[in-house]
Structure 1
């Protein structure tokens, strides 16, 4: 197991333990990942906070022995509003952070792909360049999960439109924000209408326009609405067809769902505990064997949400949180960076 007893998991004020394997082929500093942060087996740990419910970066960092390596956010942009409101709301909180985490900006072109133009792209680039000048590296996760079909986003299920909008964003970013990287980030769970795993190949913009590859990959349990344990090697089997031997890879959005009957505290069927589901997913995300299989695996960003959601036709309340939810799960997350 990845987790230690409380006695063995004591921390000092020194830098965290970083296990650098013989197969490491990337420089974390090149991609903005701070050394003095949550890094497990050379895999950086980040979070997508549920800002809209009052979660803060500070709260999450206070629940960890070291600050998160990556802070994610969802940022909408349209012709009517190019102010990047979600980013503006978090700007002061970001500037208070040290060490500087990577800022993973999930840019959502809410008017659709063909309405996205250079003025919107420039608004993103100028704002993120200002953040670069404050010491942040930014990963632009543009039009994420674009391969979801039928389209679950305004920018989904249109390979030609996606590539057109991607090129506009990439051109602007490389001209105006040299401290930013373009992350191509489809969803693994979008293959219902395709024989190709994940249905993502047709959306790839090409090596010259992609700096990082990302993937949305969750454990949802049996039928996506029952509390069952992650199957052995689910992570490795899911990532292997996607993994690029030449591009740094990030699990850009992840979590392990714990299902409740809608708006209750009654667990859904399945029988597995929240602790076991989430700690076993931690093992697959951050284990030494996983890193050995994917030397360019850079980091994982945990979706720290608690929300009502329709999974496979069943409305439920789903707790994805690693922090600020179940205290035993939070303790396990805290101790991920301990020597073992």
Structure 2
């Protein structure tokens, strides 16, 4: 699949993993990475791929209409994969405005620029793929059926509300103007390059620094977890085989309670330190891990406002495109822990 792809937010967690994935899968494709390099954007996530002649990094904001259009024109872009977003619920609770600016107005800017460039230049074979979240559907009870693409939107945080608005804009540009779009609503991702404020990397790094492991409320909130590489492969399949104008839910069929995720990480790190004495040398401050008692760091804290109880994905629709996750969670989480253990030079500048 030789395409000229603009990846927005391509220096973030999922975006950077997608750039690595796409470059490996389609080495002849041109990839333009547009990223504002806010706190969660990091050129180090892209590593050696930036040395490739057909990968171009552009430091800029998706809200800058002139810059976006110029990139589409300069590189003759035919495909946009739109990851760029403010994505941390806690930050959206503290201040909603940046989420509206980036997630809503930024998406609108991209759509307007894409429509103008592709339609004015008669680029018939184009695609705007919008990467969204399962959080737009709201919260499920422990026994409710998983979210399907037909579920009513019921966002419960400023973050999920902003993503819901952007989803609606993408749909509207297809139905009103005929822009060729697809959307994926994905469950929680995990894997390398995950910014340390998110649950899994935060727990790993707090253990390595012998800090408390904060658990909101009772820790019984349930999330569906998908390895980021599987998410990237799902987007690839949607771009190739997905129907224009459609939404595809992407999930791992892998529900875990937050407290169980934390306990699993504690157990695995206990085992790592017990089986490899070098970790105690590399991380002498990780006293609980050295003593095989990471779980003693678990600390319950006040729940965050409006905390959703459960997210779960019904992935039957994308399964019809022959997408199934390849990562077993036990393997994926072990690889993720090992990645953080082996890459302190990446996370040290980011972790506080």
TM-score by length of 2: 0.37
In terms of Rg, which structure is larger?
Answer: 2
Q: TM-score, normalised by structure 1?
A: 0.38
Higher share of residues assigned helix = 2
